[in-house]
Amino acid sequence: MLKVWLLISACCIVLASAGDCAVFKGGLWRTFECDKSSDAPIAFGGESRCSDVCAADYSIYLDIWYDDGTPVWAIHADFPQGTHGWEKTVGAFVPEHPVKKIDMHAFVRNGSGTAEFRNLWLERRAEPSEVNTSTSPLAPNETVVWTADSMSRITPLTFPDVLKRVPPTATVSLARRERESFQVQVSTGADAEWTDGGVTLPVLRNDKGKALKGSLEWRRVGYVSRKRGRYLHPCGVPLKELWLPDPLLPPAPFKVRKGSTQGLWFTVYAAPDAAAGEYSGDVVLTERGEKRAAVRVTVKVEDFSLPETFGMNTSFSVMDGFTRAQYPDRFKEKKRESWDIMLDHRLNPDDISRTTPPDIDDLTYARSRGMNRFNILNIVPEPKDKETKWVCYSPPEATESPAFYPAFKARLAPYVAELRRHGLDRLAYIYGFDERESEYYPGIDALWKRLKTDFPDIPVMTTAMMYRDYAAGRTNLPCLVTTDWYCPLTTVYRTDVSDALRRLGKRVWWYVACGPTYPHANFASLEYPFIEGRLLGWMTHLYRADGLLYWHVNFWNGPCIDESDTFLPKWDTYSSLSMPGDGVLLYPGKDHILPSIRLAQIRDCAEDYEWLQLAAKKVGLPAVDVIGRSLIRSMTDFARDPSALLDARAKLAEVLTTTKEFWGNSGEAPF
């Protein structure tokens, strides 16, 4: 194992290691030649503080060479930009081949500002061959049924604690018009197998025999074949795991392989007219028609309701081009099915990159189910090829050409008039210039001005880098005046900057995609703890972001999934090895669009946000923020323990179901 510590003084840019030191202008650099080439994981990190940083790269940054000379560039762990005191960052990389050389850098590059670094480190972790493959701790012919909350990642090599055998039970708490999930797991010993498994659902009843108004549904947990993504997560999945849970397959007979665990996913829904109180019943698991186990399920319906229209602004892109390509003969059917899944998860089925305005009938249907925002068009030229799956952005000359805006306006004007006739205009916005840099700014400003003249009531939103530049002190950008809604990456978002923009009448959303990486929260990666997706709802509320955007949920580039087995070796979700699973929160089954565990976390993220909103209306933001800060200490320091989040929800439920006098004269939460 190679373990190197690089010590950086806090007052100058000096790299010191093994008794020697060198000064590097503009950054730090050191090359490590591995005495023994190895494909062991690489972990690295350090600390930095900075002043007015605005740059393409502000990070600890690795370039890596394999034994055969092939390079892997730009393995990086980023620091937040702007001005801050000492902050830590950590990164990890899993090589695909043995590594011979590593170049390690710490720098601010392609931008402005100053930074200091200290306590840099790089470490090769244990060889994969040194990690023992897990075997079932159960007796060879034993089978155990057990339960878990919805936030815990249970893999085929996760087993129950053999010393804590208790009858399986599951308890959930939810508001009216809310969904909440739990997991039932079946684990087997080395010689045991569960074949032709089935589930019988109970009618959940209260102590007076009244049935819960709502539903209880179940699905089989599916597992995708794991590849060695570039970045590990220290709270993620051990290297020994070869399969990762995520797709949720429809009910069907299931099997549990020898010496493994198979998950079953259950979701409770409380209807708008459900009576508050406790309901219970037994979920029965069968094998070949014979009862094998019963799981006692207790559901507490809290005495408040989520609003019919979603309380959290979201934009999660369900792209028509990918749905049409996957299901050419069933496009309309599968589009509606996808939208229904998103709406069931209280998420807007949006598309920031659409080049055709959404159908009015689809929008009125989605509005009836709670939708609160949608994009009309992406600001790009209309594609000549109607089979184009998507267009993210165009070069500056395309949107700055004299012909572009008249053509764009001609498409937009009759459509906006139609939106107004249906009362949909107040939910609409226009998106453009995805993550574009400063060379686009003059064109953005000119186009924004024309749009605001012709369509003054339709806001414009962008993820262009002007927010980042404004935060770094570039306050004289013309497009800062004309932009309505900003949407920076969560790592770039700053409360003080956002508050200043809101005082000017702006809104500030935020987004995640293939970044940020650990230690920031993200749900895009299959490798990251599930709970991080749910925590983003708490972060969105605590930091007052106006909405959450995610670029793509149906980035499908493979065949439809065979739904007959829960192990899916032919499905590849590795469009990004730095963030495996990015862009895929829905899976294309042969017969069904399949939701996922990660999508369920974002549903719960949106629902938790609405609990926070309701509580804040009752007792004020400061009191509710006390509960939020019990989970979220900073954007890089937050609880990943599901029990801590459930405890925080219980406190919110107490706020929402207790009279105001409970709080005393100060109105401060007693937590």
Asked whether the beta carbons of 283 and 202 are under 8 A apart, the reply is yes
Residues 6 or more apart in contact with residue 582 via CB below 8 angstroms: 513, 514, 524, 525, 552, 555, 575, 576
Angle between helices 404-421 and 360-368 (to 10 degrees): 50
- Residue with structure tokens 């989970």? 631
| Cα(128)–Cα(122) distance, integer angstroms | 18
Which residues in the chain show pLDDT less than 70? 1-27, 125-134, 163, 228-231, 575-577, 659-671
Strand 243-249 relative to strand 214-225, pairing = antiparallel
For 272, what's the count of Cα atoms within 13 Å in the CB-facing half-sphere? 5
Q: Kindly report, residue by residue over 188-214, the tens digit of the pLDDT.
A: 999 999 999 999 999 999 999 999 999
| Cα(207)–Cα(8) distance, integer angstroms | 65
Q: What long-range pairs does 447-454 form, CB within 8 A, spacing at least 24?
A: 447/379, 447/399, 447/400, 447/405, 448/479, 448/482, 448/483, 449/482, 450/405, 450/409, 452/482, 454/409, 454/412, 454/413
| Cα(225)–Cα(570) distance, integer angstroms | 8
| Cα(237)–Cα(221) distance, integer angstroms | 17
Tokens coding 554:
């149906």
- Residue with structure tokens 């037994």? 282
Q: Which of 50, 10, 8, 45 is nearest to 28 (CA)?
A: 8
Position 21 scores a pLDDT of 32
Position 1 scores a pLDDT of 36
For 138-213, strand residue ranges (E) read: 143-149, 169-176, 178-188, 194-200
| Amino acid in position 540 | T
For 352-405, strand residue ranges (E) read: 374-378
- The pTM of the full predicted model, rounded to 2 decimals, is 0.85
Q: Kindly report, residue by residue over 83-132, the tens digit of the pLDDT.
A: 899 988 877 777 878 898 999 999 888 778 889 999 898 887 654 433 33
Residue 442: cis peptide before it, omega within 30 degrees of 0: no
Residues 6 or more apart in contact with residue 633 via CB below 8 angstroms: none
